[in-house]
């Protein structure tokens, strides 16, 4: 399983800006609706916000992986928002996040979403990769760099 297989250029938002966690989630779901056929984005937003109330998905080290399961999708869908400045996502380490991977999995899916999350965590452990991605200007370059790093 390769992360680059789940991403596409139009599913990467460069220069993500938002005032708070809810706005980040809304922006990412809006991006998802452009890459995936979804009829009820509001429901996905509500599920993601409910998940965040249970425990933050800001895992630290500049990474957040808001996620949920939904009948809206038939396969794991991932979009990525990047903030060069970093945005507070109430991460476990108390630091701003720069990379926001929104992951929506099918309700009846198996463990593929867990494998995707684990892949993100493993790949983004490398500070050099994160620094390189933050220096890039286009979603095409980001996608190429992720593919080369896998």
Yes or no: say if 138 and 88 are a contact pair by the CB < 8 Å rule. Answer: no
Task: Report the DSSP beta bridge partners of residue 6.
Answer: none
User: For residue 38, what are the domain limits?
Assistant: 3-149
In the chain, the number of structural domains is: 1
Q: Does position 136 have pLDDT exceeding 90, yes or no?
A: yes
Residues 6 or more apart whose CB falls under 8 angstroms from that of 96 comprise: 62, 83, 85, 86, 87, 88, 89
pLDDT exceeding 70 applies to what percent of the chain? Answer: 100
User: Which whole number is the average pLDDT over 128-144?
Assistant: 97
Q: pLDDT class for 109, splitting at 50, 70, 90?
A: confident
Residue-level pLDDT at 108: 83
CATH code, domain carrying 24: 3.40.930.10
User: Which whole number is the average pLDDT over 72-76?
Assistant: 91
Give the model confidence (pLDDT) of 26-37 as tens digits: 999 999 999 998
| Rounded Cα distance, 102 and 78, in Å | 5
Q: pLDDT class for 130, splitting at 50, 70, 90?
A: very high
Q: Does position 39 have pLDDT exceeding 90, yes or no?
A: no
């Amino acid at each position: 399983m390769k992360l680059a297989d789940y991403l596409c250029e139009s599913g990467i938002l460069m220069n993500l800006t938002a005032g708070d966690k809810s706005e980040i989630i809304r922006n990412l779901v809006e991006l998802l609706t452009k890459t995936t056929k979804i009829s009820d984005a509001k429901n996905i937003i509500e599920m993601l916000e409910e998940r965040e109330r249970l425990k933050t998905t800001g895992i630290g080290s500049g990474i957040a992986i808001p996620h949920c399961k939904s009948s809206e999708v038939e396969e794991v869908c991932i979009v990525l928002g990047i903030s060069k400045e970093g945005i507070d996502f109430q991460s476990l380490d108390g630091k701003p996040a720069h990379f926001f991977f929104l992951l929506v999995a099918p309700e009846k899916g198996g463990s593929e979403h867990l494998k995707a999350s684990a892949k993100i965590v493993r790949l983004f452990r490398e500070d050099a990769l994160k620094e390189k991605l933050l220096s890039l200007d286009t979603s095409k370059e980001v996608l190429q760099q992720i593919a080369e790093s896998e």
